[in-house]
A and B are shown apart, each in its own frame.
Chain A
């Protein structure tokens, strides 16, 4: 005890500090020595598998070391947000999920921590090569902050043997009106219920809560949450029509004949089982989902087919868009030229894109790449259909999507209006009598709900002092391609 006046425990703690401190310092210094020339953070394992061989080639060609970091999408977004806010270390290049850019561009332009790529994209001739609608996802107030990775046009997938068995002629399903008419016969007609009381077949996979499914329909119909000037528009007539249509397909009315033709088929194993059991006939399928179906529903090989979405309005587009990935470069990027070179190889070099498409089924936004042979390859899983050609044929019509910091709240509010309209329909059907003797239709109710929810977002936006200060704050920011420090040249 005399030798260790504070007891052996204190000595042990002291020894741990003495040894662990230098060890941590040594590890940190070693890690610094081994630091790569570029650090590239991504959130998709499929992308990692596709990029790894291309990056190995790039390293050889340029005699550099690129570190590829795979981080969960939500974790990547939040860690990046926190790190950028406090100017901590961030990767040199990063893949972001659509929608997340809105969070990073919520303040004055000068505060955005990503490089403005507008001029660089123009000078590299990418504006002519890229599908224009894909740049809107990554833009804020006329400035582009990320390179688009994809287009993600949407089709409907189905099992040919099932529709044949049920006597559905898919070539006639050219409008949503016809689609729902057939769907009601299938879902609610004779023999629609099984021995267990459950419905045998649902025409389409739509989640009653809306979510991404209602957004796909909204975009196809020509609607959206914001216009290009960031004004809230999800209370217009298009949104109202989409909400009431969607409610009719996902709910049954309080009074009157049943109208529901949809159920949520889920993801992964549940989706697989729903397809194998022929419980859900048509699946909304953006290009990226075809790979998931090939992997998850292998038993349906050769039976699966793709068709364009039915038209929303006569002569309207027969596709929509769902999802998106983009590559952004933080202003702290250590070697922008090298990072840009790698980005070009991974995203826009035609030979690499051919390999990427065969591996991921994701159509690139570069229109000249669509002429490569891989896009005309017949796919056995899809009964010999040319997957690339089908999606490429629809891709130019993929509608633009506008994102800003209020998009998540706008999506939630749209869902709220949808849910309330659903409750109205489930309770009263198409019309209800008001206490004053007048009637209110579901259309009127949906319009009122959408207006209330859109006004909520308008109030939120009006409250944002940074958005309202934009004119002042942005006056200090040089024009597109100006000489602001850290901006790409």
Chain B
């Protein structure tokens, strides 16, 4: 192609050659876009459009798709003035704090135990600890409903066996504890159930991070006289910090999105809405109540809350700077 052009013996061949070159250039430019187009189309249809449509809906009161009326900011003002919303927000925040503060250290501890050299049963334990995550929140909810049953449930039997002897004759037996019927025990019950489910999942992230820690650094610290705690604090922890930040952020997002497990566990929201989460509140108003606009407004408020918390977390951890 280039030979013909270079010699310039005839002007006629140059036109097709130029066409071919421009076609080639167009093709070169189009090709990546064509490959990316399925992803872009799916993202636009199933993510970007719904997100913006939800933003529009948040300013309407709806009764199905056909009936809707513009009400401005009324959805947002009603939500923020609703005591139930703040109950749900409080419950979710309490859950997020406790589940993150309890789950992640346990996950890290288990990961460190499984990261030790020479442990032959490592694979079996890893699978055993991770496997609760595979069964799904609804299953865990149903199973823990049985575990928390008064008199016959595993937890009450265990508590009675362990602590029954310390109780006075007039105290309520541990066997009679109504975990799911007492508003003060509902949140601990949810935290226990989710912990069983997610500890193994987070452990896998930590385990992967620990396996990538440069052993020569730990060796050097040991030679320099650092004890195990100092090695962990000054070498291991900084090395796994990006993963730890990721796990904290994902756990927080997951905590604020909690819905199925407490809803199944409590067959609703528990006494006095003590198990109602923000997503539960959204479901109750948006789907059961039939006002999708209100649900969309709750969804946007929740998005802003999660975004703010995550920005603070990233700022505190200094990950953004790195």
Q: A residues within 8 Å of B by Cβ?
A: 6, 10, 78, 81, 84-86, 103, 106-108, 111, 193, 196-199, 207-211, 263-264, 266, 269-270, 273-274, 279, 405-406, 408-409, 412, 415-416, 419-420, 422-423, 456, 463-466
Interface residues of B in 243-261 (CB under 8 A from A): none
CB distance from B33 to the nearest CB of A (A): 13
CB distance from B285 to the nearest CB of A (A): 8
| Contact between A420 and B272, CB atoms less than 8 A apart | yes
Residues of chain B contacted by A266 (CB below 8 angstroms): 149
The 9 closest A-B pairs by CB, nearest first: A197-B173, A419-B272, A107-B63, A85-B64, A198-B175, A209-B271, A419-B271, A85-B65, A208-B181
CB distance from A140 to the nearest CB of B (A): 13
| Contact between B181 and A199, CB atoms less than 8 A apart | no
Chain A residue with Cβ nearest B183? A419
Given contacts A198-B151, A208-B181, A466-B63, 19 further A-B contacts (CB under 8 A): A86-B65, A103-B288, A107-B63, A107-B290, A197-B167, A208-B271, A209-B181, A211-B267, A264-B178, A405-B289, A405-B290, A409-B289, A415-B272, A419-B271, A420-B272, A456-B83, A465-B61, A465-B69, A466-B69
Q: Which of the residues B67, B149, B171, B288 comes within 8 Å of A108, measured between beta carbons? A: B67
Kindly state whether residue B150 has any CB partner on chain A within 8 Å.
yes
| Contact between A412 and B63, CB atoms less than 8 A apart | no
5 pairs of residues in contact across A and B, judged by CB atoms under 8 Å: A106-B289, A208-B181, A412-B284, A419-B271, A456-B83
In angstroms, Cα B71 to Cα A128, docked, is 45
Kindly state whether residue B115 has any CB partner on chain A within 8 Å.
no
| Contact between A408 and B289, CB atoms less than 8 A apart | yes
Q: Which of the residues A108, A197, A412, A464 comes within 8 Å of B160, measured between beta carbons? A: A197
Residues of chain A contacted by B149 (CB below 8 angstroms): 266, 270
Kindly state whether residue B17 has any CB partner on chain A within 8 Å.
no
In angstroms, Cα B87 to Cα A456, docked, is 15
Kindly state whether residue B219 has any CB partner on chain A within 8 Å.
no
Residues of chain B contacted by A415 (CB below 8 angstroms): 271-272
Residues of chain B contacted by A464 (CB below 8 angstroms): 61, 291
Residues of chain A contacted by B160 (CB below 8 angstroms): 196-197
Number of interface residues of B (CB under 8 A): 43
In angstroms, Cα B72 to Cα A465, docked, is 13
In angstroms, Cα B269 to Cα A211, docked, is 11
Kindly state whether residue B134 has any CB partner on chain A within 8 Å.
no
In angstroms, Cα B83 to Cα A464, docked, is 18
Chain A residue with Cβ nearest B38? A13
In angstroms, Cα B149 to Cα A103, docked, is 32
Residues of chain A contacted by B64 (CB below 8 angstroms): 84-85, 107, 111
Q: Which of the residues A6, A81, A274, A465 comes within 8 Å of B287, measured between beta carbons? A: A81
CB distance from A423 to the nearest CB of B (A): 8
Q: Which of the residues B61, B69, B146, B267 comes within 8 Å of A270, measured between beta carbons? A: B146
Kindly state whether residue B66 has any CB partner on chain A within 8 Å.
yes
Binary flags per residue of B145-181, CB closer than 8 Å to A gives 1, else 0: 0100111100000001000100100010111101001
Kindly state whether residue B37 has any CB partner on chain A within 8 Å.
no
| Contact between B65 and A465, CB atoms less than 8 A apart | no
Residues of chain B contacted by A78 (CB below 8 angstroms): 287
Q: Which of the residues B176, B178, B272, B288 comes within 8 Å of A416, measured between beta carbons? A: B272
| Contact between A198 and B173, CB atoms less than 8 A apart | yes
Kindly state whether residue B319 has any CB partner on chain A within 8 Å.
no
CB distance from B117 to the nearest CB of A (A): 39
| Contact between B269 and A412, CB atoms less than 8 A apart | yes
CB distance from A198 to the nearest CB of B (A): 4
In angstroms, Cα B60 to Cα A464, docked, is 11
| Contact between A466 and B67, CB atoms less than 8 A apart | yes
Known: A197-B160, A197-B175, A208-B271. A408 touches B288 (CB 8 A): yes
| Contact between B66 and A85, CB atoms less than 8 A apart | yes
| Contact between B71 and A270, CB atoms less than 8 A apart | no
In angstroms, Cα B35 to Cα A193, docked, is 73
Q: Which of B160, B178, B289 has the most CB of A within 10 A?
A: B289
Residues of chain A contacted by B31 (CB below 8 angstroms): 6
Residues of chain A contacted by B290 (CB below 8 angstroms): 81, 103, 106-107, 405
CB distance from B242 to the nearest CB of A (A): 31
| Contact between B271 and A466, CB atoms less than 8 A apart | no
Kindly state whether residue B317 has any CB partner on chain A within 8 Å.
no
Residues of chain B contacted by A465 (CB below 8 angstroms): 61, 69, 71
Residues of chain A contacted by B164 (CB below 8 angstroms): 196-197
Residues of chain B contacted by A199 (CB below 8 angstroms): 173, 176
In angstroms, Cα B68 to Cα A111, docked, is 11
In angstroms, Cα B174 to Cα A266, docked, is 18
In angstroms, Cα B150 to Cα A209, docked, is 14
Q: Which of the residues B61, B66, B175, B288 comes within 8 Å of A196, measured between beta carbons? A: B175
In angstroms, Cα B270 to Cα A422, docked, is 14
| Contact between B78 and A416, CB atoms less than 8 A apart | no
Chain A residue with Cβ nearest B178? A208
Interface residues of B in 262-286 (CB under 8 A from A): 267-273, 284
| Contact between B175 and A408, CB atoms less than 8 A apart | no
Chain B residue with Cβ nearest A78? B287
Known: A103-B288, A409-B284. A416 touches B273 (CB 8 A): yes
CB distance from A73 to the nearest CB of B (A): 13
| Contact between A209 and B63, CB atoms less than 8 A apart | no
In angstroms, Cα B64 to Cα A464, docked, is 13
Interface residues of B in 62-105 (CB under 8 A from A): 63-67, 69, 71, 74, 78, 83
Residues of chain A contacted by B65 (CB below 8 angstroms): 85-86
Chain B residue with Cβ nearest A208? B181
Residues of chain B contacted by A197 (CB below 8 angstroms): 160, 164, 167, 171, 173-175
